[in-house]
Amino acid sequence: MEAGKDNGSDAVLKAAQAGDWSLCRCLLTHGAEVSARDGLGRSALHYAAEKAPREVVALLLARSSDVNAADNGGVTALHLAAGNGRREVVELLVARGANVNARDSSGLSVLHHAAFGGSAEITEFLIDKGADVNASNNAGVTVVHVAAWSGHLPVVELLIAKGADAQRKARDGRTTLHFAALSGNREVVEFLLAKGFDVNARDEDGQTALHCASFRGSREVAAALIARGADVNERTRRGETPLQIAAEEGHREVVEFLLANGAQVNAEDDAGFTALHSAAYRGEHHVVEILVAHGADVNAKTAGGRTVLHQAAYRGSREMVEFLVARGADLNARDNDGQTLLHEAAYGGSREVVEFLVARGADVNAKDSNGRSVLHSAVLSGKRDVVDFLIARGVQVQTRDKCGWTALHEAVRSSNPEITKVLIAKGLDVNARNNSGVTVLHVAARHGRGDVVELLVRKGASVNAKDTDDCTPLHAAALGGSLEVVKLLVTKGAKVNATNKEGCTPLDLAWKEAVVSYLRRVGGKPGSCSERGCNGGVKNLSKMGLECAY
């Protein structure tokens, strides 16, 4: 039989990858080599250790020079066999010299893999063969942590009986109890509590096991912890309670249980967010209903002035917005930046919520404290149907914010040619300038939007317009690095040697070799700024005119 390329090495690897153990057996019995590795650095032995019959593994070992060969992630065949519960293969590999304390690149030992796999038999075998029962990975996560995290009580019990230090913490301060709570396994949690673990121990972020159980969504574990004295209103370093975490994750049963056991429904984190804010933002309607039924304040504000309705409007859930309004939520609320609910709904891109708010009297021309209109927000959402709806309802399309940005500037800056066309069709000035003199064409050129540049020029945009630094769109294109846009502007009549206030030409600002080469070919020359070594005079182009503080 022909063994194939490299004495059959590639053929054996491919057969192993495909799980074709009959072909592997055939190739190996005819003398095929096994040295090939795939892109992950794995050999046929790696794949066989996971799934192949013991006989195939033995044949591979007979032709393999290194039983401890690791893949690109430092994983050996023994890691894989142990993690997949393959006791016979584990015993075979160890008998052939496999290192029971081998670690992968993240520091996980073979025993970590065995604990994760949940085999108490393999775990005990490895310990008896010298595996370090207290091995920890690069993050300080020990074997017993992994066993608890995986919810394998027999393995946890075995490890502790074999001398594992169950009180040891990971580098982030998490205890074995934290990991057990994350598993959602009540039996493991109760076993550890019976061993005397501190039910209110905090990790470096201030999280307790109850926070972990709330994140996991395990009512049973939460009940076990509270029964042992867990503080239902304990806060993390960011001020989050278990209720806020459960609400954000949408765990209804845990939310109800925590509330029934004394959780403060209107508790705020350090940024002023309540559980109701979190649930509304995540679109967890059923959780919102539960919280409101238990007295959650529908008009609670964050430190930034955001109400629950702001969260729901941005999320785009009309059902939730209607529910909150029916419960007394303030439709006229503004946050500390003056953003209305309609700003949020428009920015979130929900036409349904926008329609509802407008029907309830929301002002389509409302502006925030930076002068940004609802139309600005809608353009940033990239949702044409929202823009179309606002235009149909009489929104002022020529509006500007405090920096002088028009909705057309925003459409181009956010790279939305479809909305750009809509706004131009509605009469927005293609030569409009912001407070720094930056035109829409400057913006398109700076961001390398050739399609938009072509559209704007076709609609009458000036290719030689200057901002307050005297930079032209060609300066912007050279700085942006788009050869396509540079060529397009030059063919449309852009002045190749226009100078800004610092004396810089587009060639001075070009940094891409292709752009430099092209500009030189069409007559571009360095300006006086290149002799003085000045800063280029591109403040406006660098900031794109964002001189306002927002």
Q: Which residues contact 388 (CB under 8 A, 6 or more apart)?
A: 422
Q: At what angle do helices 219-227 and 176-183 cross, to 10 degrees?
A: 140
pLDDT of residue 480: 94
Do residues 122 and 152 lie in contact, with contact meaning Cβ atoms separated by under 8 Å? Answer: no
Q: Of the ranges 7-11, 75-79, 195-199, 475-479, which one carries the lowest mean pLDDT score?
A: 7-11
Do residues 370 and 395 lie in contact, with contact meaning Cβ atoms separated by under 8 Å? Answer: no
Mean pLDDT value of segment 323-351? 97
* Cα three-residue angle 59-63-67, rounded to 5 degrees: 90
pLDDT of residue 543: 64
Pair of tokens at residue 547: 């001189």
* Residue linked to tokens 């994983």: 75
Examine the pLDDT at 548 and tell me if it is beyond 70.
no
Examine the pLDDT at 225 and tell me if it is beyond 90.
yes
Q: Of the ranges 30-34, 74-78, 402-406, 408-412, which one carries the lowest mean pLDDT score?
A: 30-34
* Reported confidence tier of residue 4, pLDDT bands at 50, 70, 90: very low
pLDDT of residue 550: 28
Burial class (CB within 10 angstroms; exposed 0-12, middle 13-18, buried 19+) of 454: middle
Per-residue model confidence as pLDDT tens digits over 233-283: 999 999 999 999 999 999 999 999 999 999 999 999 999 999 999 999 999
Output the CA–CA distances (angstroms, integers) from residue 431 to 101, 115, 389, 506, in the order listed: 70, 67, 25, 21
Mean pLDDT value of segment 209-219? 98
Task: Classify residue 510 by its DSSP letter.
Answer: -
Q: Of the ranges 93-102, 288-297, 395-404, 522-531, which one carries the lowest mean pLDDT score?
A: 522-531
Mean pLDDT value of segment 463-488? 96
User: Reduced to 3 states, what is the DSSP secondary structure of residue 470?
Assistant: coil
Q: Which residues contact 180 (CB under 8 A, 6 or more apart)?
A: 148, 149, 151, 156, 188, 189, 192, 209, 221
pLDDT of residue 38: 83
Rounded CA-CA distance 343/18 in Å is 54
Rounded CA-CA distance 215/254 in Å is 9
Instruction: Identify the residue with better confidence: 26 or 154.
Output: 154
Rounded CA-CA distance 189/225 in Å is 8
Q: What's the CATH superfamily of 435-550?
A: Ankyrin repeat-containing domain (1.25.40.20)
Examine the pLDDT at 367 and tell me if it is beyond 50.
yes
pLDDT of residue 536: 61
CB atoms within 10 A of CB 549: 7
Q: Which residues contact 540 (CB under 8 A, 6 or more apart)?
A: 436, 437, 438, 442, 467, 468, 469, 471
* Cα three-residue angle 354-360-366, rounded to 5 degrees: 60
Per-residue model confidence as pLDDT tens digits over 500-540: 999 999 999 999 999 999 999 999 999 988 655 445 667 77
pLDDT of residue 15: 78
Burial class (CB within 10 angstroms; exposed 0-12, middle 13-18, buried 19+) of 274: buried
Examine the pLDDT at 549 and tell me if it is beyond 50.
no
pLDDT of residue 5: 43
Read off φ and ψ for residue 487, nearest 5 degrees: -60, -45
Q: Which residues contact 459 (CB under 8 A, 6 or more apart)?
A: 424, 430
List alpha helices for 341-461, DSSP H: 341-348, 351-359, 374-381, 384-392, 407-413, 417-425, 440-446, 450-458
Rounded CA-CA distance 516/496 in Å is 12
Per-residue model confidence as pLDDT tens digits over 431-444: 999 999 999 999 99
For the chain, percent of residues with pLDDT exceeding 90: 84
Pair of tokens at residue 151: 């919810």
pTM of the predicted structure, to 2 decimals: 0.86
Do residues 155 and 143 lie in contact, with contact meaning Cβ atoms separated by under 8 Å? Answer: no
Pair of tokens at residue 50: 């996971």
